[in-house]
Amino acid sequence: MAGRSDSVPAVHDTGRGDAVLFLHAYTLDASQWDHQVAALSGDFRCVRVDLWGCGGSPPPPAGAPSLAGYATSVLAVLDALEIDRCSVVGLSMGGYVAFELWRLAPQRIRALALCSTRPSADDDVRRDDRLAVAARVEREHSVESIVEPMLDRLLGPAARNEVHIADPVRGRIRRCTPDGIAFAQRAMAVRRDSGDLLERIDVPALVIAGKHDIITPVAEVHAMSGSISGARFVELDCGHLGNLEQPHAFNEALSDLLMPAGAVR
């Protein structure tokens, strides 16, 4: 079912302290961040949304799919929670949404973690592929045909063979609805190039890449970090989902970003 205009995303609000907003990847949902919330919610207010059609969220609204649409819904969530300013952690599509947040309301971002993401727009081949996936899941009224191909792309070799990581990822993909997947693909297909934003990022920044990531290769993520003044670059031994595949190392890097130097935990 598509086409609601009152699509308020499901929100998961855990812990107390300075707020940290977590934005999940395509085909996942807010539970992608469970390890981070477990580690950080003693010190921070961890806010997660399920983007439309994912996790517990309603279907996408009517109208043209766009990442700005996601970002606007997330800003409305922050308003409703009375959060003026927060740190933002975005992984892959979540990073694309973070770029849109920066475009719309940079003053609301205290620090930025960009994980396994890229600033560039799609080329024609990638765009056509996305539109084909969107049409297929709608035609099939099911996301089943994307589950195993996505799993292979999302996880590095070690995590793919670890059932405790792979099965929950399968579950998250299956929880997405066809209209949620179609909206996400169409929104990503028309996304703008965000390269021009990088030099304007003037808050503490962390960039994380996965050594075995085939969706956003390390070299591309590393190049992005070089364009953000003062950004710290961290490479983890994993695929696309560093926060699930290497949670301890991921959390250490994130804590370093979020905890002011010298802060007592």
Chain contacts with ligand MLT (rule: CB under 6 A)? 25-26, 92-93, 188, 215, 240
- 44-50 and 10-14: which strand pairing? antiparallel
Query: 24 or 108, CB closer to ligand MLT?
Result: 24
CB of 237 to ligand MLT, least distance (A): 19
Contact yes or no for 216/237 (Cβ under 8 A): no
CB of 177 to ligand MLT, least distance (A): 16
Query: 41 or 120, CB closer to ligand MLT?
Result: 120
| Interatomic CA distance for residues 103 and 114, integer angstroms | 15
Cβ-based neighbours of 138, under 8 Å, separated by 6 or more = 178, 179, 182
| Interatomic CA distance for residues 81 and 149, integer angstroms | 37
Contact yes or no for 152/212 (Cβ under 8 A): no
CB of 209 to ligand MLT, least distance (A): 13
Shortest CA distance to 137 belongs to which of 106, 87, 183? Answer: 183
Query: 97 or 254, CB closer to ligand MLT?
Result: 97
Query: 83 or 246, CB closer to ligand MLT?
Result: 246
CB of 10 to ligand MLT, least distance (A): 18
Query: 44 or 183, CB closer to ligand MLT?
Result: 183
- 205-210 and 109-115: which strand pairing? parallel
CB of 241 to ligand MLT, least distance (A): 8
